Structure 1
Amino acid sequence: MTEKEKLGKYLLKLREKIPSKEYDKEHISQKELADNNTSLTKFLIGTIERGEANPTLDKLIFLAKALNLKTISLFELEINVDKYIKELKKK
């Protein structure tokens, strides 16, 4: 398994913990996640989950927000998801 596939598998597990609000399914689908988050597409979510994409930090932050994560850690650096998104919007 590649490192990108590990990341994708991890993100898929996180998505499967979120209940669907719009469909009669146990967990939120890629489409529902994308529909409720303007910075994400179903295609992008799918390629990340399959380990095919090289998402930018911005896309990873938006995906973290969509997955209800408050912070993520990269290189032993903790990033506040909401603060990061607010700073992006100021640009």
Structure 2
Amino acid sequence: MKFAAFIEYSDEPERLAQFRPAHRAYLQDLLQQGRLVIAGPFADGSGGLFVYEVANESEAARLAADDPFARASLFRGIVMKPWKLVFACADNLNPPL
């Protein structure tokens, strides 16, 4: 089951930059495990959207809590909702190089 996490980041750009490599490595690992569907920051830098593929909401919450940003108290807020994929364009899902 998919869960979308709408995450608001703390307003600490220096700390976000400091923990970003660990945060991205963590997400890359989840992606390789098949437990992350998509992830990326909002264009204004205020937070990000993560869609997890997990058995239940508590597992999605645990993945969010284990994120290096969360462990560094850089998640100001999280809204977690079950999500259904209905339409997707694979060409638009390739991240820019």
Give the TM-score normalised by structure 2: 0.33
Question: Counting helix residues as a fraction of each chain, which structure ranks higher?
Answer: 1
Question: Counting strand residues as a fraction of each chain, which structure ranks higher?
Answer: 2
Question: Which protein has greater RCO, CA pairs closer than 8 Å, 6+ apart?
Answer: 2
Give the TM-score normalised by structure 1: 0.35
